[in-house]
Structures are given as C-alpha cells and as structure tokens.
C-alpha cells in the first residue's frame, strides 16, 4: 500500500534581514524538504505587526503535499527556521523566519509540541486572507468555514504585494 499524501498549509512570516527574501527563499526550501512538495503559494503580504512595536512583516501561506506525519513535518519546519535564524527569538519579537503549521488535512492535533489547527489561525488577518487565496472554500476541522472567519476579521493593515513566485 502506498503512503497517504496529506495537504498541509504553512504560514510564513518575517520582519528582519530582508523579509521578502527570507520568505521567497523559504518557499523554495519548503519545496525541497524531504517527502514534501510545494503545491501553491499565496501572494506576499506586507502586514502591520500584531503585538509589540516592530517593523512590518512579510507574510504568506503555502500549500504543501507531504507524506510526513504532523510531528515529522514540524521537525522539518523547525530545522528550516533554524537555518534562517541568526537572531535570537524573543517572545512576540521580530524574527527572520517563522513557519507555522496551520492545517494538516482534516486532522486535529493536540500535542505538547503542536496544536493543529494553529490556535491563532482564526484571529490573524495575515493568515486568513492569504489562506483564502489558496482555498476559499475551506472548512476547518472544527467545522467553521474560512469564509465565516474572514467576515469577522478586517483586512486593515494588510497589503498584498506582487506574486511570491517569480
Ligand atoms: N504580526 C504580523 N503582522 N505577522 C506575523 O507573522 C507576526 N508574527 C508574530 C507576532 C509577533 C505575533 N506578530 C506578527 O509572531
């Protein structure tokens, strides 16, 4: 029997050391992770920081097909983050690259290292709007339609840039 392929959505964010470059490079690197294929990526968005005052972020969302388990995928994402991370992580502070596992098929994961769907997903315009570009009809494993969430979250402070893949 062949290994099942799952579709995962990854949120990307950066606000340090040429954020646009951090995010476009990371998209390419996601495609090169073992047992992963980049299916499609949203546009890049410039977004005002949520949390303490700091530079604007560049955000995007990517759809991956993977045969990795959620925790194996998390390990790969954290390694990739480490390769970009020349600056120490401060809680809610600026970062060179953040990769969040937002969704993994229809699965819900509640593990000390990982919660899927990502617990902040429903509140963050810089996640919801790029995700809606890729999957406007999506319903979360919780039964909530993405369209219903969008209706509650303003796009203020979010500005789409040119296509993320040149
Ligand atoms: N704010 C924005 N706009 N985008 C992010 O990716 C982001 N990531 C963070 C915090 C500091 C919460 N704020 C953010 O980790």
Total-model pTM: 0.95
Ranges of residues in the chain whose predicted pLDDT is under 70? 1, 86-89, 163-166
**CA 82 to each of CA 26, 61, 89, 118: distance values in angstroms, whole numbers, following the listed order:** 12, 19, 10, 20
**Closest C-alpha to ligand 1, atom 9:** 92
Q: What is the pLDDT of residue 6?
A: 98
Domains of the chain are: 6-164 (3.30.70.560)
Q: What is the pLDDT of residue 90?
A: 75
Classified as helix, coil or strand, 69 is coil
Q: State the CB neighbour count (10 A cutoff) for residue 66.
A: 25
- Which one of 86, 108, 113, 159 is the catalytic residue? 86
User: What kind and span of H or E run contains 130?
Assistant: helix 125-134
- For residues 66 and 38, what is the distance between their CA atoms, to the nearest angstrom? 9
2 Cα–ligand 1 center, Å: 38
Q: What is the pLDDT of residue 166?
A: 47
């Amino acid at each position: 029997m062949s290994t099942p392929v799952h579709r995962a959505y990854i949120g990307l964010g950066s606000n340090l050391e040429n954020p646009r470059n951090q995010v476009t490079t990371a998209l390419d690197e996601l495609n090169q992770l073992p047992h992963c294929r980049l299916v499609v990526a949203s546009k890049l968005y410039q977004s005002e920081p949520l949390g303490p005052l700091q530079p604007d972020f560049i955000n995007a969302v990517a759809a991956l097909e993977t045969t990795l388990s959620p925790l194996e995928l998390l390990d790969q994402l954290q390694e990739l983050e480490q390769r970009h991370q020349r600056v120490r992580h401060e809680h809610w502070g600026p970062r060179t690259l953040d990769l969040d596992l937002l969704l993994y098929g229809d699965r819900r994961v509640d593990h000390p290292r990982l919660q899927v769907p990502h617990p902040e997903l429903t509140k963050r315009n810089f996640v919801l709007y790029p995700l809606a570009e890729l999957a406007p009809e999506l319903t979360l494993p919780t039964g909530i339609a993405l369209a219903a969430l969008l209706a509650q979250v303003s796009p203020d402070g979010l500005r789409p840039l040119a296509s993320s893949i040149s």
